[in-house]
A and B are shown apart, each in its own frame.
Chain A
Amino acid sequence: MSGNSFYGPLHDPAGDAGYTEHPPRVGFFTDTSVCIGCKACEVACKEWNDVPVSGEGDGFNLLGMSFDNTGNLGANSWRHVAFIEQTGKPPVDLGMPEITRQTVEMVGELPDFRWLMASDVCKHCTHAGCLDVCPTGALFRTEFSTVVVQQDICNGCGYCVSGCPYGVIERREGDGRAWKCTLCYDRLHDGLEPACAKACPTDSIQFGVLDELRERAAQRVQTLHDRGVTEARLYGESPDDGVGGDGAFFLLLDEPEVYGLPPDPVVPTRDAGAMWRFAGMAASALVGIAVSAFIGRG
């Protein structure tokens, strides 16, 4: 435990959680500028982790939101690819492999809209709201500084669902327990990268040691800015943000809310001290009310 156990920059979440010797913190850098929306990550995740069908019934639900029929992250969707079609924005050359100016010319005129595609995932926050509020200890910080639910402990109280400022973790219908991305905890133990990163054909999902990913991401943003893509920005990489930085962070080409991400999430635990102080004052008021009620006759 250190001064910043619940809020603020914290370099070593696993160490803070009590691991004396542990591997370096790992995570994802999801570079959405090279995402092609193939959903291989969603499929690989489901296959490896044996995640049930998403959505109602057989799962074949057309949501009418571009090519997105998964909708959102949840108990049964641990990767979610968002699709945004924006008109009036000409596409820019992002330095994607194989796409040269010649091949674009061969297919004709450039369209006047662009695709934004982004594979969302649990952020494995430095200060995880879900983990903080879990009353059973089912949610825990792993030696890799990721956040995982122990399914043999979870009793389905649902507090984590409301504790997450990103709306990631969810209680599974018919099962009653909370589920989310484990960052393939089992694969990490065997020295393998998580299934989604392994399956990603464009390396939009990059797995690695978090410090290295942050360096790589900063370089990528610089490269894109140099090429004129000034709207490229990182989301969740800063240890100074409201959750102390995400273990899984993103390169976005528009505001976070356009992708369904909260613009400035804060771990609810930040205000816990103030909350208990107000509760203490209110409790004292109640004592005062009760005592004064018995003063006087009648």
Chain B
Amino acid sequence: MPREKTAVPPAEFRSYYGRQILKTPVWNWMIAAYLFSGGLSAGCALLAAGADLTGRPDLRRVSRLGALASLLASMYFLVGDLGRPERFHHMLRVAKPSSPMSMGTWILSGYGVGAGSAGAVELMPRRLRRSRLGALLTWAARPAGLEAAAVAPGVASYTAVLLSQTAVPAWHEAHPYLPFVFTGSAAASGAGFGMLAAPVSQTGPARRMAVAGAVLEVAASRTMERKLGLVAEAYTTGRPHTLRKWSEILTVTGAVGAVVSGNRRWAVAASGAALLAGSALQRFGVFEAGVASTKDPKYVVIPQRERLNQRQTAAAQR
């Protein structure tokens, strides 16, 4: 069958010289990178808390450090993307439930205290560790890490609300699915980091977490593409599609690798790296799908016009 016949005919709609109606998000790659690093940090913090409670000191150590490093990266990305970075602390003026970014600021602050302290303790030099203060700090690392783990699911999921509570069609319409894509992706990346950095003997939990996270992410992602209707095109065409296709390939490869790698250090590490890359590509793909959906007025006009027409028909029948 010729290609043109299989394709859905382009929908007819009217517009003002074909110009976009919505503004394209001003956020640049740093926000996509933050979606990844924030999720990674949350995944690592959960892994670290579990490792701490179940006596896996090496896994605990690398995960806490991973959580700290990706938290610092997150803060760099968030401040760096502001139009006036020196005013970043204006975020702390208010706590505003209607603004997911304000809620996120406080969630991230609460998380940062625990994740930051637990990570810093792992970096303490041995000499300091033996002192009385060092002993106290080492003791405090567990409650700090548990506090971070308690807030981590909020860190991993609020970013989906952050994107969805906008007029950006591909983000707004995806609000029932995006949180699951993001928490799945966070679990897969945190677990991937553990697999990459911890000794193989202690990666068991990370590998199980990787599989479950990857399954959630891929399942949610596929459901989203199927259910979104017209705006799914923003995800299934162009660069966002390419990014998300590679994300899926890498995530599935990493999850399979987590199961079949056995005790081969290189194979476990490579699977972990694939999971990290898959998670990052997912975030960039979702981010770019949103950007693309603001540039074409069809994503605004066609669904809204349909909605209006349905309402008018319903009103006429009454």
A residues lining the B interface (CB < 8 Å): 6, 65, 71-72, 74, 82, 84, 129, 132-138, 153-159, 161-171, 175-178, 255, 257-265, 268-269, 271-272, 274-276, 278-287, 289-294, 296-298
Contacts and interface: CB of A to CB of B under 8 A. Distances in A.
B19 A263 contact: no
A289 B216 contact: yes
B15 A283 contact: no
Which 5 A-B residue pairs are closest in the complex by CB-CB distance?
A: A156-B83, A176-B83, A260-B16, A282-B179, A298-B204
Range of interface residues on B (Cβ < 8 Å) = 35 or more
A167 B153 CA distance: 32
A169 to B, nearest CB: 7
A177 B84 contact: yes
- Of A82, A135, A262, A278, the most chain B CB neighbours within 10 A belong to A135
Given A260-B21, A289-B213, A156 B180 contact: no
Given A176-B82, A279-B161, A263 B301 contact: yes
A207 B99 CA distance: 31
Contacts of A169: 23
B7 interface: no
Interface in B280-311: 294, 297, 300-301, 304-305, 307-308
A290 B25 contact: no
Contacts, number: 251
B305 A171 contact: no
Contacts of B81: 157-158
A157 B83 contact: yes
A156 B82 contact: yes
B91 interface: yes
14 contacts: A65-B16, A133-B166, A155-B87, A161-B25, A164-B23, A169-B23, A258-B15, A262-B21, A272-B165, A278-B177, A281-B179, A286-B157, A290-B50, A294-B54
B95 to A, nearest CB: 10
Interface of B: 13-17, 19-23, 25-27, 42, 46-47, 49-50, 53-54, 81-85, 87-88, 90-91, 93-94, 96, 98-102, 104-105, 149, 152-154, 156-158, 160-161, 164-168, 171-172, 175-180, 182-184, 186-187, 191, 204-206, 208-209, 212-213, 216, 294, 297, 300-301, 304-305, 307-308
Nearest to B163: A162
A267 B264 CA distance: 53
Contacts of B212: 289, 292-293
B17 A163 contact: no
A286 B183 contact: yes
Nearest to B155: A283
B27 to A, nearest CB: 6
A195 to B, nearest CB: 24
B94 A135 contact: yes
Contacts of A132: 98-99, 165
Contacts of B49: 290
Nearest to A165: B167
Given A129-B167, A263-B301, 19 more contacts: A133-B98, A135-B99, A137-B94, A154-B87, A158-B27, A165-B167, A167-B294, A176-B82, A260-B19, A275-B179, A278-B160, A278-B177, A279-B160, A282-B179, A282-B183, A290-B50, A293-B50, A293-B212, A296-B204
Nearest to A274: B175
Given A71-B19, A133-B101, A135-B94, A289 B165 contact: no
B21 A155 contact: no
Contacts of A84: 16
Contacts of A259: 16
Contacts of A158: 25-27, 81-83
Contacts of A261: 21
